[in-house]
Amino acid sequence: MLLPITLALLAPSTQAADEGTNQLVRIHSQNPRQLATDLAHEGFDVLHEGVDADGAVGVVVSPDERRRLEARGLALEVESTGRPLRDILPPPEPGDGVVPSGYPDLAGILAALNAFAAAHPTRARVVDVTATYGLAPTFQGRHLYALVISDNVAVEEDEPSFLLVSAHHCREIVTPVIALDTIERLLSGYGSNAAIRAAVDEYEIWIAPLWNPDGYEHVFNVDNLWRKNRRTFAGGTGVDLNRNYPFGWGNACAGSSSPSSSTYRGPSPASEAETITLMALSEAQRFEKVIDFHSTGRETLWGYACPTAPIDAYWRQEAATLSQASSYGGAERRPSADGEHYHWQFVTYGSMSFLTETHSSFQPSYASAMTEASNVWPGTFWLLQRAMPLRGHVTHACTGAPLRATITYVSPVFSSGEANSSALPYGRYHAFLPPGNHSLRFEAPGFAPRTLQAPVSAGATTALDVALTPLNTSGTVFCPATANSTGQVPTITSNGATSLGQNQLQLTADRLPAQEVAVFLLGQNETQMPMFQGVLCLGRPAYRLGLLNTGATGSVQSTLDLSQSPLALAAGTTVAYQLYYRDFAGGGTARNYSPALRLTFCP
């Protein structure tokens, strides 16, 4: 009887609600399946397996959660109590290769990434993602890292990107091992395996073995059952990083709203540095394919927890194929919750994205983790090689310049805010869509929107490049004009008809002295040279178009026949116009200029 009292006296009064380590407990009940469902719904960390062979529910609980369950009259059987992983694992042996010969700690993972890059400097580089995007570090001040593998890895090329990310949940220590093993296979296989070489040449492959470094340190040094990050709140510690992404964050299938829960979704969507950093990386890289590794369960997850999507059957079938290739026999399911990382990737960027639950144990022997990595690799490679259903580039129809465009699915009809877009610097986009005849709408500010058919065939890539024609081609005014003898600064505008097919362009200049001679100049070489009473904006050669008169209103308008232009015009050609006019109104022999107008012609 003395022991609990002693512990109570030792406990500081400021102790946080969940101080102390987690425990893995088994709970027997009359209806274990219902209990597992209920507890998961309440935000308890129910093991993926749910009910075990003895009819008990496995749950990882914090001390606070344990008290809450006991208060409900449930009998908890403690299977294990969290303790430092370092005390459990055999110490790693000195490295005999770049992959550590035992579970790597945080420093070991970073050292492995740096060793890979050093050994393969033309095909691998380490990216400090936190620093690259100028973002805040984790709660405990750490940066997040990834290794990029590609041909010409130092150069950002116009290639699709692939993301493998592990250990959003830090106790799932098999998953960084799988990530490092994948790196090893890609880099060592490049020289000898034509298929690996082709994949590495085609893709920029981003591998992030550990997305929860604060938690991983806690697992190694304090509590091997810890799952969340380590941000502290008044009511508890840690956010479940795979519940913190914006999609479905607040819906009925979201993570817990209680900071003491193991599935705490965080105070707001994307509240965590880890989430923000992966979102920033994804916005820049636009990953065409994503695999997010977790444990345990040996199955592949697809879709959303609450909403449904018109691609569900296809997504499920692809997940089953990925699971099969990963040695998991085609096992697949919907996710446990919304707010997860992988489905955010599809919802935001149309990515081919999955979550695979690896192994049957969080922390098996290292040899067993390596066997798992070997078994999972064919699945990862299948995903790399799998034909992306739809991809292309969006460009400016006149200049060919890449465009950032909004892409809307007209059909199939999505209803959960699923978005898509092309991104700079290459205007590249992609869409994970089932076989069928789809319809997509492409829009960019200042361009005529286009709705296009997008036929997708099973197992093949449809390449759909989209050129958008500018809506308002009224041009850009450049080169400042001076006030003329009327005290006004002239203006120059066009009717925006820069289509060579339409052939007629109307130019107007206003705020001119009345009844004076004027002429439009045409040229391609822009300059700014003081001349007479104004500024000449066109260098040589410049062409004079027809003579005009400013009339009673001090204005000229001219309709140009583009086919008769003294300067040959083609789609993409950029030219400038400027008005040259006599300005006698104030007396003397003044001549003056309007500002210049730059226009680009379209087909």
Q: 231 or 294: whose CB is closer to Zn ion?
A: 294
Nearest distance, CB of residue 353 and Zn ion, angstroms: 15
Nearest distance, CB of residue 358 and Zn ion, angstroms: 10
Q: Which residue in 155, 163, 153 sits closest to 187, CA to CA?
A: 153
The C-alpha atoms of residue 421 and residue 401 are separated, in whole angstroms, by: 16
Quick one: which segment of 291-299, 300-308, 338-346, 503-511 binds Zn ion (CB under 5 A)?
291-299
Give 3's contacts (C-beta < 8 A, 6+ positions apart): none
Q: 301 or 467: whose CB is closer to Zn ion?
A: 301
Q: 204 or 274: whose CB is closer to Zn ion?
A: 274
Nearest distance, CB of residue 299 and Zn ion, angstroms: 12
Give 15's contacts (C-beta < 8 A, 6+ positions apart): none
b/e sequence 523-534, b meaning 16+ C-beta within 10 Å: beebbeeeeebb
Q: Is 396 in the site for Zn ion (CB under 5 A)?
A: no
Q: 172 or 204: whose CB is closer to Zn ion?
A: 172
Q: 243 or 396: whose CB is closer to Zn ion?
A: 243
Nearest distance, CB of residue 303 and Zn ion, angstroms: 17
Nearest distance, CB of residue 295 and Zn ion, angstroms: 7
Nearest distance, CB of residue 323 and Zn ion, angstroms: 16
Q: Which residue in 164, 136, 135, 134 sits closest to 148, CA to CA?
A: 164
DSSP state of 336: S
Q: Is 298 in the site for Zn ion (CB under 5 A)?
A: no
- CB-based contact 164:179 (threshold 8 Å): yes
Contacts with Zn ion, 221-260, as mask; x by CB under 5 A:
----------------------------------------
Q: Is 294 in the site for Zn ion (CB under 5 A)?
A: yes
Question: Of these, 26, 169, 228, 334, which contacts Zn ion (CB under 5 A)?
Answer: 169
Quick one: which segment of 120-128, 130-138, 247-255, 290-298 binds Zn ion (CB under 5 A)?
290-298
Angle between helices 341-349 and 273-285 (to 10 degrees): 40
Nearest distance, CB of residue 354 and Zn ion, angstroms: 13
Nearest distance, CB of residue 313 and Zn ion, angstroms: 25
Give 142's contacts (C-beta < 8 A, 6+ positions apart): 213, 214
**Tokens 């109570």, located at residue:** 8
Alpha helices for 42-141 (secondary structure H): 63-71, 85-88, 106-119, 129-132
Q: 186 or 241: whose CB is closer to Zn ion?
A: 241
Q: What share of the chain is helix, strand, coil (3-state, %, to 5)?
A: 25, 30, 45
Nearest distance, CB of residue 167 and Zn ion, angstroms: 8
DSSP state of 484: -
Quick one: which segment of 8-16, 161-169, 391-399, 438-446 binds Zn ion (CB under 5 A)?
161-169
Q: Calculate ∠ Cα 500-467-492, nearest 5°.
A: 45
The C-alpha atoms of residue 385 and residue 203 are separated, in whole angstroms, by: 10
Q: 169 or 228: whose CB is closer to Zn ion?
A: 169
Quick one: which segment of 162-170, 229-237, 497-505, 568-576 binds Zn ion (CB under 5 A)?
162-170
Q: 263 or 395: whose CB is closer to Zn ion?
A: 263
Interface with Zn ion: number of residues (CB under 5 A): 2
Q: 26 or 243: whose CB is closer to Zn ion?
A: 243
Q: 142 or 341: whose CB is closer to Zn ion?
A: 341
Total Cβ atoms within 10 A of residue 276:
17
Question: For 485, what's the count of Cα atoms within 13 Å in the CB-facing half-sphere?
Answer: 19
Quick one: which segment of 204-212, 286-294, 440-448, 522-530 binds Zn ion (CB under 5 A)?
286-294
Nearest distance, CB of residue 81 and Zn ion, angstroms: 20
Total count of residues recorded for the chain: 603
**Residues of the shown chain interacting with Zn ion in the complex, contacts defined by CB under 5 A:** 169, 294
